[in-house]
Amino acid sequence: MDDFSTPRQADILATARAQGKVNVDELATRFDVTPQTIRKDLNELCDRRLMTRVHGGAVIASGVENVAYEARRFIAQPEKRAIGEAAARLIPDNASLFINIGTTTEEVARALVQHEGLLVITNNLNVATLLYRQPKIEVVLAGGPVRRSDGALIGSSAVDFIKQFKVDYAVIGASAIDEDGALLDFDIREVRVSRAIIDNARKVMLVADRMKLERAAPIRIGHLSEVDVFVTDELRSQALRTLCRTDAVELVEVGRRD
């Protein structure tokens, strides 16, 4: 059982697990304490590797358990929306594409609604729901068991289904990106689907916000060198920036101001 300096720290951790992220000022108001007190709480939780500090607050820092999907929607939401819009601009009309599970890949789908002549193959029920009503977009949904937590179709049936296609673009996300370029996730069944998507696309587009570099996950999807285009809000890692140059990965930073 976790030991906390104050009951407040237990509440902060529970809130972060439910929402994905906590904000210093909001917590200070909620607990009627100073922002400095909350920062001290967060620093102690981070020292114990239960959380990771981000601008204005902190997020859960688990390397073995993912943050709840609905909570992830609220993490870096403006950045994900901008990434989705930028990625969608790189996809031409009359293209075929895979879109895998993820809150950022959903933003790509949301930004594709005005495209014409698309064939979208996905294992993401949320993506299918966003696009199936569009008369000029054909949606094909992979088969297999549905993961209740996020609407992902996973398992061997989904992998076999994906392998029947060869598409123009794969739009993929990742739960974490390691400093060495490894793309990581939490569920081996999801990883196998993502791997099949990468292997059966002519061009691979990774969409991920900078917070993915602050997280860890235990299962390897692949490597950044296998990606053709990396769309993010900002890439602060010089090692990954060098890797993009070395391996001819086109880097698109939607939040960078030169």
pLDDT at position 73 is: 58
Q: Which residue has the higher pLDDT, 78 or 249?
A: 249
pLDDT at position 76 is: 64
pLDDT at position 60 is: 72
Strand partners, 22: 58
DSSP string, 70-112: HHHTTTTHHHHHHHHHHHHHTSPTT-EEEE-SSHHHHHHHHHT
SS3 for 158? helix
- What is the percent of the chain with per-residue pLDDT over 90, rounded to a whole number? 65
Map out the domains of the chain with their CATH numbers. 7-61 (1.10.10.10), 72-253 (3.40.50.1360)
pLDDT(193) > 60: yes
Question: Tens of pLDDT along 126-168?
Answer: 999 999 999 999 999 998 888 887 888 988 999 999 999 999 9
pLDDT(102) > 90: no
Instruction: Record the pTM.
Output: 0.77
pLDDT(67) > 90: no
Using CA atoms, how far apart are residues 222 and 128, in angstroms rounded to an integer? 25
Using CA atoms, how far apart are residues 89 and 91, in angstroms rounded to an integer? 6
Using CA atoms, how far apart are residues 83 and 255, in angstroms rounded to an integer? 9
pLDDT(107) > 70: yes
β-pair type (21-23, 57-60) = antiparallel
pLDDT at position 70 is: 56
H or E segment and range at residue 51: strand 51-54
pLDDT(222) > 80: yes
pLDDT at position 64 is: 41
pLDDT at position 59 is: 78
pLDDT(112) > 60: yes
Using CA atoms, how far apart are residues 126 and 238, in angstroms rounded to an integer? 34
Which candidate, 255, 228, 225, 253, places its Cα nearest to that of 240?
225
pLDDT(101) > 80: yes
Q: Which residue has the higher pLDDT, 211 or 133?
A: 133
For helices 24-31 and 35-47, angle between their N-to-C axes, nearest 10 degrees: 110
Question: Tens of pLDDT along 47-66?
Answer: 887 887 777 888 776 544 45
Question: Cα separations (Å) of 51 from 30, 62, 246?
Answer: 19, 7, 33
Residue with tokens 């917070």: 211
The torsion of the CA quartet 83, 85, 91, 93, rounded to 10 degrees, works out to 170
Question: Tens of pLDDT along 171-187?
Answer: 999 999 999 999 999 88
SS3 for 195? helix
Using CA atoms, how far apart are residues 121 and 112, in angstroms rounded to an integer? 13
pLDDT(18) > 90: no
Summarize the confidence of residues 208-230 as an average pLDDT: 92
CB-CB contact of 229 with 195 (8 Å): no
